[in-house]
């Protein structure tokens, strides 16, 4: 499987991850889910491999603006439905090497993921 970086191009953290990959000549595809909708099969794969809690971005403005009662009732079904409708709820960027699945950008974790 090839390496794919998911996010949207205007995100500063996504920009850092893309630059890091490019600077190290890591072959990858960039999937901008603001241009092309994320499909449910991809999201289900992430949930299966990492758990829905790892995918959900609780630090996003979108999440923080939710009513407290809604936040307290979040479960996998809610996360799946709402992440597909509002991709700001995804921790970004997402790096999928086929064997590694990383959320967010940490250079040391990326180094390990792309070299292993």
- Written as one string, the DSSP assignment of 37-86 is PPPHHHHHHHHHHH-HHHHB-TTSHHHHTS-HHHHHT--HHHHHHHHHH-
Q: Does 11 qualify as catalytic in the annotation?
A: yes
Is 15 a residue whose pLDDT tops 70? Answer: yes
- Token duo for residue 2: 């090839």
Catalytic residue among 11, 26, 50, 84: 11
Q: Which CATH superfamily is domain 4-115 in?
A: Glutaredoxin (3.40.30.10)
pLDDT digits (tens, 9 = 90+) for 62-88: 999 999 999 999 999 999 999 999 999
pLDDT digits (tens, 9 = 90+) for 27-39: 999 999 999 999 9
């Amino acid at each position: 499987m090839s390496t794919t970086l998911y996010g949207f191009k205007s995100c500063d953290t996504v920009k850092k991850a893309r630059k890091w990959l490019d600077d190290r000549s890591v072959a990858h595809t960039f999937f901008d889910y603001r241009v092309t909708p994320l499909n449910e099969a991809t999201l289900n794969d992430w949930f299966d491999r990492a758990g829905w809690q790892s995918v959900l971005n609780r630090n996003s403005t979108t999440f923080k603006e939710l009513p407290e009662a809604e936040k307290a009732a979040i479960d996998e079904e809610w996360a799946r439905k709402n992440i597909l409708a509002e991709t700001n709820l995804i921790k970004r960027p997402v790096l999928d090497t086929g064997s590694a699945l990383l959320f967010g950008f940490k250079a040391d974790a990326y180094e390990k993921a792309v070299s292993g």
